[in-house]
């Protein structure tokens, strides 16, 4: 996610927090949540800021769902790295389509931080999925590609 996009989201974050606060007040039984992995108490506002694309209504609904297991940021990061290591064993490196620089799965996961781990794995192992160092390389590649198409016609 680009920095600009994150900033854009922050502007709406305050309103989301306010809305969530009202929703919680109206809730008869508000669940106390702990991380299923380490037992640390969780904060619903952290949960909201980790999932900026969800509405406050949806956040509260998820939070109140009895059988859903949530985890804290530290455990999430740890579990994600653990999963990424498994993917690395299957395929450790790919190359940027534009500049041929080798890219590892860690860099790839940072570039696509919005992806869930199974989505990340599917794309990384998909030979048809175009891999780039960064947005600049991606843009350069498509520019050349479109230029090439134009020349063809
Ligand atoms: Zn935890
Ligand atoms: Zn590149």
Q: How far is the CA of 42 from the centre of ligand 1 (A)?
A: 9
Whether 98 maps to a domain, the answer reads yes
Residue 88: which of 75, 68, 103 has the closest Cα?
103
In a domain, 70, yes or no: no
HSE-CB for 103 with a 13 A CA cutoff: 22
Per the structure, the complete domain to which residue 114 belongs is given by 80-152
Lowest mean pLDDT among 8-17, 26-35, 132-141: 8-17
Q: What is the residue-averaged pLDDT of the chain?
A: 85
Count of residues for the chain? 153
CA of 19 to the centre of ligand 1 (A): 26
Residue 132 lies in a domain: yes
| Structure tokens, 58 | 């949806």
Work out the percent of the chain whose per-residue pLDDT is above 70. 88
Does 140 lie in the same domain as 88? Answer: yes
pLDDT in tens, 74-107: 888 888 888 999 999 999 999 999 999 999 998 8
68 Cα–ligand 1 center, Å: 15
Query: Ligand 1 centre from 61 Cα, in Å?
Result: 21
CA–centroid distance, 129 to ligand 2, in Å, is 15
pLDDT at 31: 94
Residue 95 shares a structural domain with residue 52: no
Torsion angles phi and psi, residue 103, rounded to 5: -125, 130
CA distance 38 to 50: 18
What per-residue confidence (pLDDT) applies to 152?
Answer: 61
At 57-67, the pLDDT tens digits run 999 998 998 88
- Strands (E) in the chain, as ranges, are 93-95, 102-104
Q: Verify that 60 and 84 share a domain, yes or no.
A: no
Q: How many A from CA of 138 to the centre of ligand 2?
A: 7
Ligand nearest the Cα atom of residue 103: 2
The total of other beta-carbon atoms located within 10 Å of residue 10's CB is 11
Q: Determine the distance separating the centroid of ligand 1 and the alpha carbon of 5, expressed in angstroms.
A: 28
Q: Do 38 and 9 belong to one domain? A: yes
Residues 85, 59 share a domain? no
Please report whether residue 21 resides in a domain. yes
Angle between helices 3-26 and 56-64 (to 10 degrees): 60
d(CA 74, CA 50): 12
User: How many angstroms is it from 112 CA to the middle of ligand 2?
Assistant: 15
Q: Dump the DSSP string for 109-132.
A: HHHTTTS-HHHHHHHHH-TTS---
User: Is 138 within the bounds of a domain?
Assistant: yes
Both 60 and 93 in one domain: the answer is no
Query: Using DSSP, how many helices (H) and how many strands (E) does the chain show?
Result: 7, 2
Domain count, the chain: 2
| Ligand at shortest distance from the CA of 132 | 2
């Amino acid at each position: 996610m680009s920095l600009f996009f994150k900033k854009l989201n922050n502007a709406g974050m305050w309103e989301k927090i306010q809305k969530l606060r009202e929703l919680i007040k109206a809730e008869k039984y508000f669940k106390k949540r702990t991380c299923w992995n380490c037992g640390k108490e969780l904060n619903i506002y952290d949960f909201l800021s980790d999932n900026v694309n969800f509405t406050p209504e949806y956040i509260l609904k998820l939070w109140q769902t009895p059988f859903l297991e949530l985890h804290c940021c530290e455990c999430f990061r740890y579990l994600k790295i653990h999963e990424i290591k498994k993917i690395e064993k299957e395929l450790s490196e790919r190359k940027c389509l534009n500049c041929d620089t080798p890219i590892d799965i860690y860099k790839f996961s940072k570039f696509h931080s919005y992806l869930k781990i199974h989505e990340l794995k599917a794309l990384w192992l998909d030979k048809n999925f175009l891999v780039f160092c960064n947005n600049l390389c991606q843009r350069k590649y498509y520019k050349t590609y479109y230029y090439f198409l134009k020349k063809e016609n």
